[in-house]
Amino acid sequence: MIFKILPLVAPIIIFILVKLAKSYISSVLFSEKKAKSSNEMIVCDECGTYVHEDLLLKKFGKFYCSKDCLNQ
């Protein structure tokens, strides 16, 4: 009896295992990206204002707080 049901259930079990593996891998990859971001404040090379690193503009290895400082 079990041997007759096994060919029907095996693809479902494999499908579920693949979905769980994909979910686990994607959660690991996205959690690493979140861990890399920090709350560091960096000073603008033009005006001296401290700006969060996510908002900085970078040109020629220098950091700027806005387009106005970047173009001066």
What mean pLDDT is predicted for residues 35-61? 85
Residue 48: closest CA among 32, 61, 65: 65
pLDDT at 35 over 80: no
Work out the percent of the chain whose per-residue pLDDT is above 90.
42
CA angle 64, 30, 42 (to 5 degrees): 20
Average pLDDT of the chain, as a whole number:
85
Cβ 43 vs Cβ 49: under 8 Å: yes
Token pair of 65 as six digits:
């707080």
Instruction: Supply the pLDDT for residue 32.
Output: 54
Q: Per-domain residue ranges for the chain?
A: 1-36, 37-72
Stronger pLDDT, 67 or 38, i.e. the higher one: 67
Instruction: Supply the pLDDT for residue 37.
Output: 60
